[in-house]
C-alpha cells in the first residue's frame, strides 16, 4: 500500500490540503493497522473542480470509448481482486475467503453486467417528431458504506462512467483501503484525468460538503436512513438529484406449505452472512404460530453451527462486527430484546466463549417476538434473528409491512403461485421467493425510509442520466 495518505484527484495522487490522519482499526484485534489521510471542504472543492473540468469532454465520449474503459477496468480489477478481498477482511472483519470470493467478487460481477448493459442501451429514440435523448447528468458525488464496500463502489462508479458522468467518491472511513485499491485500478486502467476522483473523510465533513456543493449535480448515497436524511437536506438548497439506498428491516415470511427444515435453516444462514451486516438481511422471520416451537429448534441448531472467530482462520464463518460503536449498540439491542420479554433461544449478550478481544458477537436467535419490540423495529445490523408467530395470511402480510422500511422481503412457499400472490402485497423494492440467487441485472432499492432510486444493471445506469426532448427533430 502506497497511497493511504493521499487522495486521487485529477489523475494524480495528492496530499490533503490540510494534513490530518485517522487510524484504521482491525475489528478482530481492536488495534490500528494503518493510517489514512482524511479530507476537508477544501479537498472537496479541489476534487469537484477536477470533475467539473473533465465533464464536457467525457460527456461526449462514444459508447465504444466508454466500453473500452470499462473493459480495461475489469482486466485490471481482476488482477487486484484478492488484494481488495484481503483489505475488506482486515477493515470490516469478513472471513477472508468470503471477502475474496463474494465481497470482492461483486466488483467483477458489476463490471461484467455494466459492460453488457452499455453494449446495447438505447440512449436515443424517436417518438413522433421528437428525439428523446438520455444524457449524462453531470458531476456526481458518491458516498459508499463499509458493509459491502466494493459492491457499493462498483454499482455507483460503473454506471456513472457508462453514462458519461464524472465523479467524486467518498468511501467509508471504516473501510477505506479497498477504495484505495479500486482507485489504483482506475489509474492503471487509463481513466481520463478528472473523470474519477477519490477523497477520504467523515460524512459530517466531507460528505456534508459534497452534498451541499453547487457544482455537484447528483448525490448517490448508501448508508443509514439517519445519514441519508442529512444528505438530502444538505442537497436540497441546490436542487440536485439525490439517490439513496438506506436501511432495512426485512420480513421473511414462511407460509404453512413450506419445507420448514429447509426454509428456517436457509433463513438463518442468510441472516448470519456477513455477520448480519447487510441491509437486506431477513431479520424478522414470520412463522405460523402452530409451528413456532418446531422453528425455534431448527433455528437454534442452524445458528449454533456458525463458527465465530478470526477472519483469517479458514474454519471461521462469522468474523467480528465493524467497530466498537456498532458492538456496543448491538449489546444494548440484544439486552433490550431480553428486557422486553422476547425468548432468548441461543446466543445473547457478550462475546462468544474463548474470545476476549475483538468486536465479536454471539449468533443470536429470539423467539416469541412481537412487532412492537425494539429488536423487531430497529435495524440491528448484526447476526440476530427474530422469530415472530402469526395466525393468518392476512395478519402476516400486515405485520410484514408494518415497518418504516421497505428495502427487501422474503416469501417461502412450496407453491410458487402462492409465493407470488403474497409477494405482490409486499411494500418492498426487492422480494425474494424461496431464496433465489442474486441478480445484478435486477433493480436494487427500496420503498419508504429505505430510500429512493435504483441501482444495478440498466436501472443503475438510468439514475445517472437526464432526459432531453428535441422537438421538431423530424419534419412533419
Instruction: Provide the annotated active-site residues.
Output: 245, 279
Which residues fall within 8 angstroms of residue 411, CB to CB, at 6 or more apart? 253, 255, 419, 422, 423, 426, 431, 432, 433, 434
DSSP 235-292: HHTTT-EEEEE-----EEEE-TTS-HHHHHHHHHHHHHGGGG--TT---EEEEEGGGH
In sequence order, the β-bridge partners of residue 465 are 136
| Distance between CA atoms of residues 225 and 362, nearest Å | 26
Report residue 223 as a C-alpha cell. 448508508
Give the SS3 label for residue 470: strand
Other Cβ atoms within 10 Å of 62 Cβ, number: 9
The helix-helix angle for 105-120 and 63-92 (nearest 10°) equals 160
Other Cβ atoms within 10 Å of 254 Cβ, number: 24
| Distance between CA atoms of residues 330 and 450, nearest Å | 20
b/e sequence 161-184, b meaning 16+ C-beta within 10 Å: bbbbbbbbbbbbbbbbbbbbbbbb
Q: Specify the residue for cell string 436501472.
A: 459
Helices (H), 321-361: 324-339
Amino acid at each position: 500500500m502506497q497511497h493511504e495518505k493521499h487522495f486521487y484527484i485529477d489523475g494524480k495522487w495528492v496530499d490533503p490540503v490540510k494534513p490530518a490522519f485517522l487510524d484504521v482499526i482491525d475489528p478482530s484485534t481492536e488495534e490500528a493497522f494503518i493510517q489514512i489521510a482524511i479530507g476537508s471542504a477544501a479537498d472537496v472543492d479541489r476534487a469537484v473542480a477536477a470533475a467539473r473540468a473533465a465533464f464536457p469532454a467525457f460527456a461526449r465520449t462514444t459508447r465504444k470509448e466508454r466500453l473500452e474503459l470499462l473493459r480495461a477496468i475489469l482486466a485490471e480489477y481482476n488482477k487486484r481482486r484478492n488484494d481488495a478481498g484481503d483489505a475488506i477482511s482486515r477493515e470490516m472483519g469478513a472471513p477472508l475467503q468470503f471477502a475474496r470470493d463474494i465481497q470482492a467478487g461483486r466488483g467483477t460481477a458489476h463490471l461484467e453486467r455494466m459492460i453488457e448493459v452499455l453494449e446495447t442501451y438505447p440512449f436515443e429514440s424517436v417518438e413522433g417528431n421528437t428525439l428523446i435523448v438520455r444524457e449524462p447528468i453531470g458531476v456526481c458525488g458518491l458516498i459508499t458504506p463499509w458493509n459491502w464496500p466494493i459492491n457499493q463502489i462498483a454499482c455507483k462508479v460503473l454506471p456513472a462512467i457508462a453514462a458519461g458522468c464524472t465523479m467524486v467518491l467518498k468511501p467509508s472511513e471504516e473501510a477505506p483501503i479497498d477504495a484505495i485499491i479500486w482507485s489504483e485500478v482506475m489509474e492503471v486502467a487509463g481513466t481520463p484525468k478528472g473523470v474519477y476522483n477519490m477523497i477520504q473523510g467523515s460524512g459530517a465533513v466531507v460528505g456534508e460538503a459534497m452534498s451541499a456543493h453547487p457544482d455537484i449535480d447528483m448525490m448517490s448515497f448508501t448508508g443509514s436512513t439517519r445519514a441519508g436524511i442529512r444528505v438530502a437536506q444538505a442537497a436540497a438548497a441546490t436542487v440536485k438529484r439525490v439517490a439513496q439506498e438506506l436501511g432495512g428491516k426485512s420480513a421473511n415470511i414462511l407460509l404453512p406449505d413450506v419445507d420448514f427444515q429447509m426454509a428456517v435453516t436457509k433463513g438463518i444462514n442468510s441472516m448470519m452472512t456477513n455477520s448480519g451486516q447487510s441491509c437486506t438481511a431477513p431479520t424478522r422471520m414470520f412463522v405460523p404460530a402452530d409451528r413456532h416451537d418446531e422453528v425455534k429448534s431448527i433455528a437454534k441448531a442452524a445458528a449454533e453451527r456458525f463458527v465465530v472467530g478470526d477472519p483469517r482462520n479458514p474454519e471461521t464463518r462469522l468474523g467480528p462486527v465493524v467497530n466498537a460503536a456498532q458492538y456496543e449498540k448491538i449489546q444494548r439491542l440484544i439486552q433490550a430484546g431480553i428486557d422486553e420479554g422476547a425468548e432468548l433461544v441461543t446466543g445473547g449478550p457478550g462475546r462468544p466463549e474463548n474470545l476476549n478481544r475483538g468486536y465479536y458477537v454471539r449468533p443470536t436467535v429470539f423467539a416469541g417476538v412481537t412487532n412492537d419490540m425494539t429488536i423487531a423495529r430497529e435495524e440491528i445490523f448484526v447476526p440476530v434473528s427474530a422469530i415472530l408467530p402469526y395466525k393468518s395470511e392476512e395478519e402476516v402480510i400486515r405485520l410484514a409491512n408494518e415497518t418504516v422500511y421497505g428495502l427487501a422481503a422474503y416469501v417461502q412457499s412450496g407453491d410458487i403461485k402462492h409465493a407470488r400472490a403474497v409477494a405482490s402485497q409486499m411494500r418492498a423494492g426487492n422480494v425474494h421467493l424461496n431464496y433465489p440467487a442474486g441478480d445484478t441485472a435486477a433493480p436494487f432499492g427500496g420503498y419508504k425510509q429505505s430510500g429512493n432510486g435504483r441501482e444495478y444493471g440498466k436501472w443503475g445506469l438510468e439514475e445517472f442520466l437526464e432526459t432531453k426532448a428535441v422537438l421538431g427533430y423530424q419534419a412533419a
